[in-house]
Chain A
Amino acid sequence: MIPELNIALAILLLPLVSFVLLIFFGKRFMEKSGLVGTTFLGIDLLLAIYIFFSKLAVETRWDFTFTWIDFHTVVNNVPLKIDIGIMVDNLTAVMLVVVTLISFLVHLFSIAYMKDDVRYSRYYANLGIFTFSMLGIVLTNNYLLMYVFWELVGLSSYLLIGHWYEKKSASDAAKKAFVVNRVGDLGFFIGIMIVWMQFSTLTFDGIFSAIGHGNIPFGSNTWLTAAGLLIFCGAVGKSAQFPLHVWLPDAMEGPTPVSALIHAATMVAAGVYLVARTFPMLTADALMVIAYTGAITAFVAASIAIVQNDIKKILAYSTVSQLGYMVMGLGVGAYTAGVMHLVTHAAFKAGLFLASGSVIYAMHHALHHLNDHHTDAQDVRFMGGLKSKMPVTFWTMTIFTLAISGVPLTSGFLSKDEILAGTLAYSHFTGHSLIPIIGFLVAGLTAFYMFRMLILTFMGEHHDKHRLDHIHESPRVMTIPLMVLAALSFFVFFSFNPISASQGWFFQKMTYPTVAVPEAIASTPTVEFIEEIHHQHTMAMVLSVAVSGIGILLAFVTYFWKKISADAFERALKPVHTFLYRKWFFDELYDATAVAATLGTARLLAWFDGTIIDGVVNGAGWLTKLVSVFSGKFDSYVVDGAVNFTAYFAGLLGLSVRKVQTGKVQTYMIFAIIGFMVLLALYI
């Protein structure tokens, strides 16, 4: 094994060690739990950075595979065994840094944010297991381990969303997240089954090389497309893509740092990562479905985000929208752009969540101080004017907002541009012009709703002066992560050219993977596609800056200068507003169809079981009993009748000789002897 892989393994296992320590000795650590977890993650981050630099310096890929289970049998002349292992390539190296960095910052942030929590050490333990599973997803080189860690991420997400499980809404959200994810995982698993059946291996390399050699599931292109799409189902669940996006906004019931870590930067990005990993086996058809899924998700979520009032809900839908963006980017074939958006988005979205956490923390303390238990600490309508009170939070938040809106000089601008250029190139090759249209539309919407949030929260007037007096900037341990993330939201970390990323290290190192799919059903060849992106880049840049500018301007006009009355709009478009505010009625729709159908079927079958099947069983018993009653009657009247008559006769007889029975033994004995003598006499 390559020595660096030992370090990679250490990176993987350190959070697990932290988890084990905290779950078993959490009580002993008490308030030091946070420090323990943070220390472990700090070491983890340093190791990850080391791996990052040493990996990017070399071309080769580090891979270590071993046989986990050997079935000792041969199928289709291939020994049947399951190989698993870990590998580090450039994508993994980047993801390692992203995951450990965000996780470390969230650990740090939580020291203050969660310090009064009743289950402080449990919280850190769960963060540990989450980080472990997430790193597992990133490091593995096969679908089996991928699925294993995939599910473990689901578990840790369940535990963290349900951290405040005393609240019904929190435990509901946790359950919903897990079950909805399971639906996606079901598809993923079926995909794995197809792959396993066809290739008898689950390592990425093995599968892609087999496909490269023309080995296609069941010899059918459709099945190859299906396999790719089924694996993509996993991503749909985890990355909250339409139609399984409903769990993510609910997941905001978890603590805000958790939202930052899991539901903004890492776990939800795992789906995008999965698509990136699976990229070589996706056919053109599959990619098209993926692109549309991403586009629809991006649009639906953005439209909902516009009208939400809860600061975390806005961010949640913005996350869903941005995830749709990434998926769309990958779907159109802009591989590097999609991955890069994943990385840049991780930084600024985590920042946004942490900043919102900082705001909520301040609001919460102020409300707590005023004994106000009715005002929602997360509702932007009750905020405003916080700028002066929380300058660090405000400025970092502004940077993040600029980044997500795709304003030049930010990292978000670079990645978003590339995706939009990719969509343009895609429509150029395939004629699907709807995708770039949605792409630009969503870019504008994003700029609009993000600035709406920023303005409502920090600018303008706070309508309760008294409360404003009680609002303070968050402690240093919370603002430092914000500042780090804000710094990372600038372009320099990804490319020295502020308007194009394609010459930066990211694009140089994160090259397109070799497509394994047979040419006939593959999408546009990589080289041509990259060429076309270059052609479209300028146009994309201009357009995206324009739509973002429009979006930002509209936000300022409406909410800062109040030239347009948002309320008037709301009233004028009441049905539309309600439709958006209620999230396109997805929850209601699912409740009415899938959930109701499941529960209905459950009740029906339980009734069937208890009434029909058991009825048959009991009926058989009843029938037997009935027969026995009949035979019993026959027995008692006919057979017993005969018997009783005999008894009656005997009784009659007995009555007459009753007097003989004196109860004295000796009298009986006389009779006995008489009898004996009679016998004797007869014998003589």
Chain B
Amino acid sequence: MNMYEIVFYFFAFVTVASAAVVVFSRNIVYSAFSLLFTFFGVAGIYVLLNADFLAITQLLIYVGGILVLLLFGVMLTTNTVNIDIKSGSMNVIPAVSVVAVLAGLLGGVFWTSDWFVSKQMGDLPVQTTSKEIGNALITTHVLPFEVASVILLIAIVGAAMMARREGLKSQNPSSK
């Protein structure tokens, strides 16, 4: 077992385990915090896949942004006076069966497929990708990039609008 494998299995474990906590924990705050570890694990896996830039992005956006947002969501929507911030499950049996079948299918497909592989582990020298990504973003992918920026802008404005308008409305409870 070389170092690479050790690191891989470590991150794989962290990811899967914390994901399990996310999914199965009844306490929503626990879930949120274990999601942090999942993201870390995934970032590690990114590094192992020669994607240093993405790993950093993953940390910045998921951990710094999305997770914080989710936590805000939890706090804003949960009645804090009531300590019980657990959330229940539903449809457990059909969901378990469906997911099991799905997992089986996916696993089977992944396992049995004869993937086309051009570069095996170790073929590729470890190198930084930031520069290449930067180039690609402003040359070949400039259009999707711009579209994405517009989408972000719209999403931000839209989110702000929705939150604010309903905020105003909440002062006189809805008639419906």
Contacts and interface: CB of A to CB of B under 8 A. Distances in A.
A and B touch in the complex (CB under 8 A): yes
B109 A684 contact: yes
Nearest to B113: A684
Contacts of A666: 90-91, 95
- State which size class the interface on B falls in: under 10
Nearest to B109: A684
B91 A677 contact: no
Contact of B102 (A664, A667, A677, A684): A677
B173 interface: no
B156 to A, nearest CB: 25
B94 A670 contact: yes
B153 interface: no
B101 interface: yes
B98 interface: yes
A674 interface: yes
Contacts of A657: none
A673 interface: yes
A57 B94 CA distance: 132
Interface in B24-47: none
B98 A674 contact: yes
Interface string A653-684: 00000000000101100100110010011001
B142 to A, nearest CB: 34
B155 interface: no
Contacts of B109: 684
B91 A667 contact: yes
Contacts of A681: 105
Interface string B77-103: 000000000000011001100100110
Contacts of B98: 670, 673-674, 677
B101 A677 contact: yes
B95 A670 contact: yes
B91 A673 contact: no
A668 to B, nearest CB: 11
Contacts of B90: 664, 666
B101 A670 contact: no
A666 B89 CA distance: 11
Interface in B60-87: none
A528 B109 CA distance: 138
A673 B105 contact: no
A677 B95 contact: no
Nearest to B112: A684
Nearest to A674: B98
Given A670-B98, A673-B98, A674-B98, A680 B91 contact: no
A677 B94 CA distance: 14
A670 B94 CA distance: 8
A666 B90 CA distance: 9
A678 B105 CA distance: 11
B91 A670 contact: yes
A681 B98 CA distance: 13
B60 to A, nearest CB: 31
B136 to A, nearest CB: 32
B114 to A, nearest CB: 14
A678 B130 CA distance: 41
A674 B105 CA distance: 12
B102 A673 contact: yes
Contacts of B94: 670
A684 B106 CA distance: 11
Contacts of A684: 105, 109
A594 to B, nearest CB: 75
A667 B93 CA distance: 12
Nearest to B95: A670
A674 B97 CA distance: 10
Nearest to A681: B105
Contacts of B95: 666, 670
A680 B101 CA distance: 11
Contacts of A677: 98, 101-102, 105
Contacts of A674: 98
A142 B101 CA distance: 112
A677 B109 CA distance: 12
B132 to A, nearest CB: 34
A673 B90 CA distance: 16
A667 B98 CA distance: 11
Contacts of B91: 664, 666-667, 670
Interface string B106-125: 00010000000000000000
A587 B49 CA distance: 117
Nearest to B102: A677
Nearest to B108: A684
A122 to B, nearest CB: 68
Nearest to B106: A680
A664 B94 CA distance: 14
A481 to B, nearest CB: 89
A88 B53 CA distance: 111
A673 to B, nearest CB: 6
Contacts of A673: 98, 102
Contacts of A664: 90-91
A657 to B, nearest CB: 17
Contacts of B105: 677, 680-681, 684
Contacts of B101: 677
A683 to B, nearest CB: 10
Nearest to B99: A673
A679 to B, nearest CB: 11
A677 B101 CA distance: 8
A666 B91 CA distance: 8
Nearest to A676: B102
A678 B90 CA distance: 23
A229 B90 CA distance: 112
A673 B101 CA distance: 10
Interface in A571-611: none
A677 B91 CA distance: 18
Contacts of A680: 105
A665 to B, nearest CB: 11
A205 B95 CA distance: 116
A670 B109 CA distance: 21
8 contacts: A664-B90, A666-B91, A667-B91, A670-B91, A670-B98, A673-B102, A677-B98, A677-B105
4 closest A-B pairs (Cβ-Cβ)? A670-B94, A673-B98, A670-B98, A680-B105
Given A670-B95, A681-B105, A684-B105, 12 more contacts: A664-B90, A666-B90, A666-B91, A667-B91, A670-B94, A673-B98, A673-B102, A674-B98, A677-B101, A677-B105, A680-B105, A684-B109
Interface of B: 90-91, 94-95, 98, 101-102, 105, 109
